[in-house]
Amino acid sequence: MIKKAFWGLSTPQINYEMLPVHLPETEKIPTPERITLFHPKNDALNVPSALGVGDPVKTGQKLSLYPDQNYYVISPVSGTITSLSPYTGDFGKSYIAITITPDGNEIIDDTFRQQIQSPTLELVSNYLTGAPGNAPLSLLADSNGRIKTIVIRGLDPDPMVATSQYIAQSRLKDLKKGIQILKDVTDVQDIILITAGESIQGYGHIGARVKSVKAIYPAALPHMVMKDVLGQVVPAGKTCEDLGVCFFTAEAVISIGSAFESGQIPTSKIFTFIKKDGTRKIVETRIGTPIGDILEAFGETVNEFDRIIFGGPMTGSAVYALEHPVQPDTDSIIVVDRDKAAYISDYPCIHCGECVRICPAKIQVNMLVRFLEANQYEEAADSYDLYSCIECGLCSYVCVSKIPIFQYIKLAKYELERAKTPEAADA
């Protein structure tokens, strides 16, 4: 039995850093020699791939291994497919890695442009799901009008990351256009732009309500926004979408606005790059660019046991290959020197209570950990509030025994979801 909804907020005092009033230009990385895209793989579909090695592709072309299914990626370059290979992502998710070698001769696919005079949710969903920002368009399309509010993140959920903040402040015209398109193609008329206290100015006539949150982590996480801005507590085991609210990044909305403004599907990703010395850059590159090219562009070397984190310092995860590409939802890449990296240990829990004190959901984290370490996920969910967790990572951050609590929690939720699938039932 689930005991408790997320219900309170302690004050960990990790602040979000605000960008300066005069925004820097993005630092642009040239198109790499190889682009890699992760196309979702459906193991249940035993059909021949509709794509093959040697196929030419255009910039902005929709690439789908299974044309009858709603899975696709967008080619960010013109060139040739040079390999198709299986790839296993976080928690064993299956993909096909599509590698494209650009030929330097940019040809824009105009299939989308031919249809933009009549925007519909189907059109937006069919072409812009893989655009920068990774808009949750299929969720919107499948909701049958259940989603009544869209929240646009103009503030990044993780501290140190400034991608959404930068985009919301620097691309107002496309943001306004994207908001208008979303209103036109959905039943959603309440759109809220989330920003932090000091940066609320400058968004007049944008077509959305502008609301600020405290510049203190984890105020910009969805569950916190639901509670502090919308006055709704998400019950344990439910999602924001269950309550009719859907979250978009500012970049996802801008991708929609820019696509309808220009007729071209955007293919460049903006993200925050944090070097080992803590220097923060706002970088722009083609989706699919390998991390190795980004490190090289900034003269950053990675030594044994240094860490490369995709995502923010609290909720991101490490990658282990320099070929790992920038993806539509990569909002930050952080390089951490081995001497500063927080390594997990095999020390046992000493019941210091730090995780319990800092947990915004007031979970008995020290008890939850016992069950997670023993892979007893159902017990963790039934008796120790696994589904009340809002995935802030603060427990891992403060754990004196360096137990990877946050990773255990994500794995447990993933495994419990997987156990509900038909494949798991048949196994």
Which residue in 393, 404, 412, 413 binds ligand SF4 (CB under 6 A)?
Answer: 393
Q: Which two tokens stand for residue 100?
A: 């494209």
Count residues binding ligand SF4 (CB under 6 A).
30
User: By CB under 6 A, is residue 355 in contact with ligand SF4?
Assistant: yes
Looking up tokens 């909002």 gives: 331
Minimum CB distance to ligand SF4, residue 152 (Å): 23
Residue 123: exposed, middle, or buried by beta-carbon count in 10 A (0-12, 13-18, 19+)? middle
Listed ranges 60-68, 153-161, 167-175, 357-365: which one lies at the site for ligand SF4 (CB under 6 A): 357-365
Minimum CB distance to ligand SF4, residue 153 (Å): 18
- The three-state secondary structure class of 293 is helix
Distance of CA 293 to the CA centre of its chain: 21
User: By CB under 6 A, is residue 350 in contact with ligand SF4?
Assistant: yes
User: By CB under 6 A, is residue 352 in contact with ligand SF4?
Assistant: yes
CA angle (270 as vertex; 211, 262 as ends), nearest 5: 85
Distance CA 29, CA 321 (A): 19
User: By CB under 6 A, is residue 354 in contact with ligand SF4?
Assistant: yes
Q: Which two tokens stand for residue 201?
A: 């100015």
Angle between helices 250-262 and 172-185 (to 10 degrees): 90
User: By CB under 6 A, is residue 366 in contact with ligand SF4?
Assistant: yes
Question: Pattern of binders to ligand SF4 over 394-413, x per CB under 6 A?
Answer: xx--xxxx-x-xx--x----
Q: Closest CB to ligand SF4 among 280 and 357? A: 357
Per CB under 6 A, which of residues 373..392 are in contact with ligand SF4? 389-392
Which residue in 349, 367, 411, 416 binds ligand SF4 (CB under 6 A)?
Answer: 349
Minimum CB distance to ligand SF4, residue 14 (Å): 12
Q: Closest CB to ligand SF4 among 19 and 349? A: 349
CA distances from 318 to 41, 164, 306, 308, 347 (A): 22, 21, 10, 6, 21
Per CB under 6 A, which of residues 68..127 are in contact with ligand SF4? none
Per CB under 6 A, which of residues 246..305 are in contact with ligand SF4? none
User: By CB under 6 A, is residue 225 in contact with ligand SF4?
Assistant: no
- Between the two ends of the chain, the Cα-to-Cα distance in Å is 26
Judge whether 82 and 34 are in contact, CB under 8 Å. yes
Minimum CB distance to ligand SF4, residue 341 (Å): 18
Name the region of 202 (left: φ>0; alpha: ψ -120 to 50; beta: rest): left
The residues binding ligand SF4 (CB under 6 A) are 349-355, 358-361, 363, 365-366, 369, 389-395, 398-401, 403, 405-406, 409
